[in-house]
Structures are given as structure tokens and as C-alpha cells.
Amino acid sequence: MKEIHINHYQGLGSLNFIKDILNINNAKRVFMVTGMNSFNLSTVHQTINSYFQERAVCHFNEFSHNPKLYDVCRGIDLLKQFNADIVVAIGGGSVIDMAKLINTLAAQSNRYTDIIKKKSQIMSKGVPLIAIPTTAGSGSEATKFAVVYIDGVKFSLEHIYLLPDYSIVDPMLTTTMSAHLTAITGLDALAQAIESYWSIRSTDESKSYAAQAISMILPSFQTAVHEGIIQAREKMSYAANLAGKAINISKTTGPHALSYALTSQLNIAHGHAVALTLGKFFLLNSDLENVELNEMRGREYLKVTLNELYKLLSCKDAAECSKKIYDLMENVGVESNFNNLGITKKWHIDCLISNVNLDRLNNNPVKITKGILEDIFRCH
């Protein structure tokens, strides 16, 4: 298999590179994937359209949030009919994941459900894909993963062919985000960086990306949410991309494992769902006397790693970090109390636990039992 890497462009105005990329690839038929409403309303729409002049464009934007397989299949049919020679994804994490899924699955001869359920493999690469995030959150433009839901059950597809060929991180595109969207996408980026740092699959490289991301997010996050100034948005955009590069190596851990149940069962937005248990996981992962480890590098290694993480958050211990996360959520206007989100009954909790993603839970440095899960959902 040929080595694949992303050609990455970033900075204010870097959206212009799209012209060069289209020319280099001699692209004549562009399959464009965007969100349903946001794109048509944005000024980016006009700029992008001017780049596409003299090229045929097929625009796919009719799909719901959090990619569903039936929407992916509609996209695949369109892509094939149109005979695209390049795919351009402009949007948040769901939009970029959708484009990755359509482009890659369209190139396979095996049944899509078999591939998603890991009964057969991805064998071929799709056409070149340009990923252009309009939020500072998921880092999907930097990863070989894509999330897809089948009948409410979340699957994470992973393959090097899902990695975009090009990524353009132009912070100008994030200026139309509301304060709430800036808050929940920023929390996702922060959680991804923190989880990557303590993940059992972390490497020196992934930890360096994660540390840079945390150091950029903390001083800029609240300014980006409350004032929306471009310098803060710029830092958030680059940090989200770095956090994406970090999880591309290390994957995510406990908070992400639990978040998919909160999203599919209660419709809580991804970044919000992830942040809900992040503070709790600081306490769980640092309680090293009373738990079994998944981390093969041992207790001493984990202690050192967690201490480094506390320093990155300018805190002295796990309790301070946990409080910092909850304070941050409150400051940016994101509800952190499970009761207030409607999780009040035992069957709510049982339902959430039965939908937890075990794959990502096993990346968590300490083992999480069913009893611990009940405790997490019962109180924050």
C-alpha cells in the first residue's frame, strides 16, 4: 500500500488554495458535500462557487446530523451517477465524516454494512478528497476515522483510505459559528486532546500534538465563545486540527466511549456529550490505588503522564482539573448536570450503559466496570 499523507494548508485566506488543488488534480467534476443550511447562507458559498467555474458541480447537502447509513447510501448513488473526479467537504465533523464515508465506500465492491461491521475490508481508495472544516472541533480533516450510525447504533470506521488527501484550515470559515456552537465544538477539541494524552495508545508524537492543542485552547476558548474575535478563533482552529492529529494516532478514550450513547439516545450534541463525563474521568483515571489498568506501560508511567496533564491545565491535581472542566462548561453556557438533561431514572442509566462503545472504553488508561459506569451516569 502506498504511503498516504495529508497535504495540509492553514491560515487566514488559505481557502484560496482550493483553486490550485483543483488545477493540480485536473478536476472537472466536483462532488461537494456541505451542511443543509449553513453553507448556502454563508459568504463562503460565493467564493467557493467562483473557484468551481467551468467545472461541473454536484452538491449533496440533504442529510441529517450524525451520519446515518441510509444518507451515506444516497450520497454514494449520487456520486456514482455524477462520476465525480474530486470530492470537496465543507462543514463540521459530521459533514467531513459523511464525505469520507461516501467517497471511500463508493470505491468498494463489498457490501457496505459488512465493511462497517468489520466482516469485510476496505480494499480501494476513493477519488481525491479535500476536507475544509468550518468548526474548530472534531479535527476530522486530520483523521482516518469516520463515525456512522445504523439504526441508532454507532460504528467507527477506520482505514488509512479515509484520511483526506488535502485539508484546508482557514479560521475565517469559523467566524459565522454561534457562541453555543463555538462552545460545544471547542469542548470536543479539548476533550480529544486530553483523552489523547492519557490514551493507552499515545506516542511521543501524539502527546506532543495533544499538549500543543491544550496549551492553545485554554487561553483562547472563552474569548472565542464570548467575543468571537478572529485571533482567538484562529488559535481554536489550529488547536482542533492538532487534537485531530493526536487522536489519529492515539484514538479517544472514556468520555468519547460514553458520549455516543448520550448522542444517540438523548440527542445531546457530540461536543456537549463528550464534555459531560470529562471531569469525572480525571478523577477515575487518577484513582490508581483502587483500579485495574488497561495501560501496559504501568502505574508509574500513568502517574507521570497525569502529572504532565495537570501541569498543562495549570492545575495541581485531578480534582482541580475536574473542577476546571465543570467551571469551563458553566462559563461557556453548557449544561453539566445529568438530572437537568433528563437523565433521572434507572432505566435511562441502564439504556445508556448498554449503548457504551467498548472499543474506545478499552483505550482508557484504567478499566471501567459496569458499577463505575452506573456511578458516572448517576451523579456528575
CB of 264 to Zn ion, least distance (A): 14
CB of 334 to Zn ion, least distance (A): 14
By CB under 5 A, is residue 97 in contact with Zn ion? Answer: no
CB of 23 to Zn ion, least distance (A): 34
Contacting Zn ion within 163-222 (CB under 5 A): 188
CB of 259 to Zn ion, least distance (A): 7
Residues binding Zn ion: number (CB under 5 A): 1
Cell numbers placing 54: 467551468
Q: What is the DSSP letter of 366?
A: B
Strand ranges in the chain using DSSP code E only, listed in sequence order: 7-10, 29-34, 56-60, 86-91, 129-133, 145-150, 153-158, 166-169
CB of 138 to Zn ion, least distance (A): 6
Contacts of 219 (CB under 8 A, 6+ apart): 235
Nearer to Zn ion, 97 or 172 (CB): 97
Which residues make beta-bridge pairs with 133? 91
Nearer to Zn ion, 194 or 306 (CB): 194
Nearer to Zn ion, 158 or 374 (CB): 158
Please give the Cα distance from 260 to 249 (Å, whole number): 20
Nearer to Zn ion, 190 or 312 (CB): 190
Contacting Zn ion within 7-26 (CB under 5 A): none
Nearer to Zn ion, 141 or 188 (CB): 188
Q: Draw the binding track, 105-144, toward Zn ion (x: CB under 5 A; -: no contact).
A: ----------------------------------------
CB of 18 to Zn ion, least distance (A): 25
Q: Residue 68, SS3?
A: strand
Indicate if the alpha-carbon torsion angle 129, 132, 135, 137 is positive or negative.
positive
Nearer to Zn ion, 188 or 295 (CB): 188
Q: CA dist 346 to 8, 68, 201, 335, 343, Å?
A: 47, 28, 34, 21, 8
Q: Is residue 141 classed exposed, middle or buried when 0-12, 13-18 and 19+ CB atoms within 10 A define those classes? A: buried
For Zn ion, the binding residues (CB under 5 A) are 188
